[in-house]
Amino acid sequence: MKKFTQEMVVSYADKLLIGLKEDEVEMVLSEFEAIDKEIDLINEIPNIESVEPMTHCLDDFEYVLREDIVEESVDIDELLQNCDSKLDREVKVPKVVE
Give the H or E element holding residue 33.
Answer: helix 22-43
* Full-model pTM: 0.48
Pairing of strands 90-91, 86-87: antiparallel
pLDDT confidence band for 37 (50 / 70 / 90): very high
Query: How much is the mean pLDDT over the chain?
Result: 88
Alpha-carbon torsion 41, 43, 46, 49, what sign? positive
Residue pLDDT, tens place only, 56-87: 777 777 778 889 999 999 898 888 988 888 88
For residues 80 and 89, give the distance between their C-alpha atoms in angstroms, rounded to a whole number. 7
> What number of CA atoms fall less than 13 Å from residue 95's CA on the CB side?
2
Q: What pLDDT score does 36 carry?
A: 92
- In terms of Cα–Cα distance, which of 39, 16, 35, 37 is closest to 27? 35
* Number of Cβ atoms within 10 Å of the Cβ of 8: 15
